[in-house]
Amino acid sequence: MKTNQKKAWFFLAPTIIFVTLFSIYPILRAFGMSFQSGSLIDLRWTGFSNYQYIFKDPEFWLAIKNTVLYAIISVPVGLAISIMLAWIIFDKVKHKSFFETTFFMPYVTSTIAIGIVFRYIFNGDYGMLNFVLRCLHLHAPDWIDDPAMSLTTIIIFGIWSSLAFNIVILMGALRNIDPNFYTIADMFGASGRDKFWRITMPELVPTITFLLTMNVIGAFKIYTSVYALFNGQAGVGNSGTTAVFYIYNKFQIVGTPGVAMAATVVLFLIILFATFLQRKMMKKIGEY
């Protein structure tokens, strides 16, 4: 039966109009603008000059370095902690939904508001964190005002924020594992450790792949949490600048949209490459 119900286009019309105007057009426009120079009202084609500019700009490299470091530290650490916590809740705790509700709270709350609270907790003089560290006779660094600490502070805040989504998704995946696997393993006298590494982890591989992808994409887009932690700045002396910060700065403050869009295209390619790379990696692990 070959029917062509043209009325479908009527129902799809609002979606198609908005998507064309605010998703497809801006992608093409961003790509085009990356080859143009001048201010927004006076753009001229200048070929690859914007790309040449950013690749020579030390600030761009610092932004990329910070963003990549943030991604490769905060994502695996956050995910490892999430797996550990999800497994403990799933395996050992009675009031599972209570803990799930608790750990999910950061996901629904505003990053700006919580960033302000973290700035207060991280305060070098009267912050709660350094008070605890001093009580334990540990080194109490100046988390906010020391440029060398900026990235560390951002990473800690990033890990804290990432647990929520990871734990809830992992709990969903753990619930979907066939309980018979564990029953059979018990009959053969498998230890808790065996069960975790031979049943749970292999069953979680697809979910972990999914979470890695989501987390890496999220990590490369980091902006709001830095803004909140350092009160609108990218850390002292721009020490904690990130790719999106660089783009925002070049677009809105410096007024060179072409440079901003060239950086956007590069960031987008990095995200694509990172996603591709880790999909391949996880496939290998899955086969193994």
Partner 1 sequence: MKRIRIGVLFSYIILFIFAIITVFPFIYMILGGLMSFQETTSIPPTLIPHHFEWSNYAKVFARAPFGRYFFNTVLTASVTTIVSLFNSLLGAFAMVNLRFKGKGLIQLVLLSLLMVPGEAIIFTNYNTIAHMGLLNTYVGLVLPFLTSIFYMYYLQSYFGSISDTIYKAAMIDGASDWDYIWKILVPMSKGGLFTVGLLSFISGWNSFLWPLLVTNEDTMRLLNNGLSAFASDAGSETQLQLAAATLTVLPILILYLIFRKQIIKGVVRNDLKG
Q: Which stretch binds partner 1 (CB under 8 A): 46-54, 62-70, 163-171, 279-287?
A: 163-171
Looking at 56, 92, 137, 284, which residue binds partner 1 (CB under 8 A)? 92
Q: Which stretch binds partner 1 (CB under 8 A): 51-59, 72-80, 177-185, 267-275?
A: 267-275
Per-residue interface string for the shown chain with partner 1, residues 198-237, x marking contact by CB under 8 A: ------------x---x--x--xx-xx--xx--xx-----
Looking at 125, 139, 183, 188, which residue binds partner 1 (CB under 8 A)? 125
Q: Is 118 an interacting residue with respect to partner 1 (CB under 8 A)?
A: yes
Comparison of 117 and 277: residue with beta carbon closer to partner 1? 117
**Which position has the token pair 């949209």?**
257
Comparison of 121 and 185: residue with beta carbon closer to partner 1? 121
Q: Is 122 an interacting residue with respect to partner 1 (CB under 8 A)?
A: no
CB of 190 to partner 1, least distance (A): 14
Q: Which stretch binds partner 1 (CB under 8 A): 69-77, 102-110, 144-152, 197-205?
A: 102-110
Closest alpha carbon to 83 in 193, 219, 196? 196
Closest alpha carbon to 166 in 115, 71, 100, 98? 100
Residue 232 in contact with residue 164, Cβ under 8 Å?
no
Residue 224 in contact with residue 248, Cβ under 8 Å?
no
Q: For the purposes of burial, counting CB atoms within 10 Å of the CB of 176, is it exposed (0-12), middle (13-18) or buried (19 or more)?
A: exposed
CB of 37 to partner 1, least distance (A): 15
Residues 246, 265: Cα–Cα separation, whole Å: 13
Q: Is 139 an interacting residue with respect to partner 1 (CB under 8 A)?
A: no
